[in-house]
Structure formats: C-alpha cells, structure tokens
C-alpha cells in the first residue's frame, strides 16, 4: 500500500526566508507525486506535480519540488516566502497513471512570522 | 470559470439521521472523486467515478455510505444513520487528465 509521510507538523519561517517542506513516500512503482496547498476556508489548490522526466519541477506561486528516487522524497521549496504563503501544505501520491484516488500526508502547517 | 461546487457548505445533523451531499464537477471532467478530511489530517480517499461507473471504493466507505453519479455529471454522497465519528469535511474533486481539482467541501457536524 502506498503512503506519504510529512515529518513536520508545524514549521515557522520568517518572511523573506527560504522554505523547505519535507515529504517521503512509499510506493512500489513509479509514483505520481503532488503538492497541494489549503488555506482556511479554501479548497485544495495544486501547486505542482511530478510524473516523469526532469526531477526538478516548477509550480505556481514560486514553488518548486525535487523528486529523489533514492531517498523516496519529494520536498517542496521556495526561495523567499511571503506572508500570504501561510497555509496547510499536503504532499500526495497517486497511482494508476494518476487516475486513482490520491493518498495524502497529514500536512505541514506553515507559519510566517514578520 | 466555474470550478467544482459542493452543496451544502455546512450541515449539522443529529446522530442517526441521514444526510446527502451534492458535488457538481467542472463540466467535461469525466472523473469525480470523494474524500473525507478530519481535523489535523490530510484528505482520505473514499471513492471515485469515471463517468457514471464507480470504479474504486476505499475500505473507509462503510455500508452506511453510498455514492452515485447517475448521468456522469453531478454526484451525491449519502450517509445513513450518521454517527459522531462521521463529523468531517467531505471533499469532492474532478479530473479530466491526471490533475484533480477540488471543491470547497461540505463540513458535516453530527451532534
């Protein structure tokens, strides 16, 4: 069975500082990996996805993520965070060519301090 | 731009009552998914449809839960004889390719 681990429940970062959110997955075949963001009262919004090819993927809002098969990781990064980035971030893995239901991690709550 | 819509946005019910939620996907999206999200957790997959066919059901979907997508358009999720443990946010997503677009969710509170 596939699974996703987000080791950090909360992360606090100063505005303007860099950010890295960790994600480790367990999946037998080539995974389909996603990062979503959820703001209070908002639906989940896709930040970026990895299916194949270049292991460094660019997403919206200045986010990027790097797929490392040897470490079963798909960490999310941003060089300089803004106060509006405060939200809940979820990593997810999918199968079936990306068509099956996703398995999400428990999320990381990002706090931005002035 | 009409995204995924869900109704109602909030539902408060008493234990033992039946509730039904509706999801309207983005038009022309042939796949539709239901997830459940409890406080402090990530969404958990419940079931999904391709057109009107229900292709996969999670073990989380007990006999009290039923989902339909009668004409391959909107979908309903019904919970019979609700329990306090059913209190959660119920999320719907639709997809055409391999990217799922999520609705705002229906928050269910069972008293």
From first to last of its 111 residues, chain B has per-residue pLDDT tens of: 579 999 999 999 999 999 999 999 999 899 999 999 999 899 999 999 999 999 988 888 889 999 999 988 999 999 999 999 999 999 999 998 888 999 999 999 999
State the sign of the Cα–Cα–Cα–Cα dihedral A99, A103, A104, A105: negative
| CA diameter of chain A | 43
Best of A45, A92, A101 to substitute, by most chain B Cβ atoms within 10 angstroms, is A101
Summarize chain B as % helix, strand, coil (round to 5).
5, 50, 45
First-last CA distance in chain A: 41
Nearest C-alpha neighbor of A65 from the set A79, A81, A86 = A79
B104–A41 CB contact, under 8 Å: yes
Does residue A50 belong to the interface with chain B, where contact is any CB pair within 8 Å?
no
């Amino acid at each position: 069975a596939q699974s996703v681990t987000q080791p950090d429940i909360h992360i606090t970062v100063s505005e303007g500082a860099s950010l890295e959110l960790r994600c480790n997955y367990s999946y037998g075949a080539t995974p389909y990996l996603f990062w979503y963001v959820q703001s209070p009262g908002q639906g989940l919004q896709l930040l970026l996805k990895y299916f194949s090819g270049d292991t460094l993927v660019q997403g919206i809002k200045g986010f990027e993520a790097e797929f490392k098969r040897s470490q079963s990781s798909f960490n999310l990064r941003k060089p300089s965070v803004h106060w509006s980035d405060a939200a809940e971030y979820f990593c997810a893995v999918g199968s079936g060519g990306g068509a099956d239901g996703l398995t999400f991690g428990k999320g990381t709550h990002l706090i931005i301090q002035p | 731009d009409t995204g995924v819509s869900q109704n109602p946005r909030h539902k408060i019910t008493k234990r033992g009552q039946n509730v039904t939620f509706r999801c309207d996907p983005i038009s022309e999206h042939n796949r539709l998914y239901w997830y459940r999200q409890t406080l402090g957790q990530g969404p958990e997959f419940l079931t999904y449809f391709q057109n009107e066919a229900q292709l996969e059901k999670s073990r989380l979907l007990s006999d009290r839960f039923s989902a339909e997508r009668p004409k391959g358009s909107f979908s309903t999720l019904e919970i019979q004889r609700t329990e306090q443990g059913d209190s959660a946010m119920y999320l719907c997503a639709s997809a055409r390719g391999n990217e799922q677009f999520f609705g705002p969710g229906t928050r269910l509170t069972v008293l």
